[in-house]
Amino acid sequence: MKKPILLYKVVQPDVLALLKEHFEVDEFDGLAAATRPDFLAALARAQGLIGMYGRIDAGFIAAAPRLQAVSTVSVGYDAIDLAALNARGILLCNTPDVLTETTADTAFLLLLGVARRVAELAQWLKEGHWQRPVGAEQYGVDVHGKTLGIVGMGRIGGAVARRAALGFGMRVLYTARSPKPQLEQALGAQWRELEALLGESDFVCVLAPLTAQTRHLIGAEQLARMKPEAFLINAARGAVVDESALIDALQRRRIAGAGLDVFEQEPLPPQSPLLAMPNVLALPHVGSATRETRHAMELCAAHNLIDALAGRRPRYLVNPQVLEPPATASPTRSETPSPR
Confidence of residue 328 (pLDDT cuts 50, 70, 90): low
Q: Count of residues for the chain?
A: 340
Confidence of residue 325 (pLDDT cuts 50, 70, 90): confident
Residues 6+ apart with CB under 8 A from 312: none
Average pLDDT across the chain, whole number: 95
Asked if pLDDT for residue 291 goes beyond 80, the answer is yes
Confidence of residue 144 (pLDDT cuts 50, 70, 90): very high
- Burial profile 130-139: b = 16 or more Cβ within 10 angstroms, e = fewer: eeeeeeeeee
Asked if pLDDT for residue 227 goes beyond 70, the answer is yes
Confidence of residue 332 (pLDDT cuts 50, 70, 90): very low
Mean pLDDT on 10-36: 96
Report cis status (omega within 30 of 0) of the bond before 267. yes
Angle CA 298–300–304, to nearest 5? 115
Give the containing element (helix H, strand E) for 173: strand 171-175
Domains, the chain: 3-98+292-323 (3.40.50.720), 100-282 (3.40.50.720)
Confidence of residue 327 (pLDDT cuts 50, 70, 90): low
What positions carry a catalytic annotation? 237, 266, 285
3-state helix, strand, coil in the chain (%, to 5): 40, 15, 45
Residues 6+ apart with CB under 8 A from 97: 155, 300, 316
Q: Which residues pair with 244 in a beta bridge?
A: none
Cβ count within 10 A of residue 211: 11
Rounded to whole angstroms, the Cα distance separating 18 from 15 reads 5
pTM, two decimals, is: 0.90
Q: Which residues pair with 280 in a beta bridge?
A: 258
Asked if pLDDT for residue 337 goes beyond 70, the answer is no
Mean pLDDT on 112-140: 97
What was the pLDDT predicted at 172?
98
Asked if pLDDT for residue 335 goes beyond 60, the answer is no
Cβ count within 10 A of residue 14: 12
Are the beta carbons of 51 and 7 closer than 8 angstroms?
A: yes
Mean pLDDT on 161-170: 98
Mean pLDDT on 298-324: 97
Rounded to whole angstroms, the Cα distance separating 233 from 215 reads 16
Confidence of residue 119 (pLDDT cuts 50, 70, 90): very high
In 116-229, where does DSSP find H-type helix? 118-126, 155-162, 168, 181-187, 194-200, 220-225
What was the pLDDT predicted at 80?
97
Are the beta carbons of 180 and 158 closer than 8 angstroms?
A: yes
In 261-331, where does DSSP find H-type helix? 291-309
Rounded to whole angstroms, the Cα distance separating 335 from 253 reads 70
pLDDT digit string, tens, across residues 197-211: 999 999 999 999 999
The full DSSP string for 214-259 is TTT-B-HHHHHHS-TT-EEEE-S-GGGB-HHHHHHHHHTTSSSEEE
CA distances from 263 to 239, 272, 284 (A): 7, 10, 9
Q: Is 127 helix (H, G, I), strand (E, B) or coil?
A: coil
What was the pLDDT predicted at 336?
34
**φ, ψ (nearest 5 deg) of residue 254:** -70, -30
- C-alpha closest to that of 288 among 30, 106, 52: 106
Asked if pLDDT for residue 338 goes beyond 50, the answer is no
Residues 6+ apart with CB under 8 A from 169: 144, 145
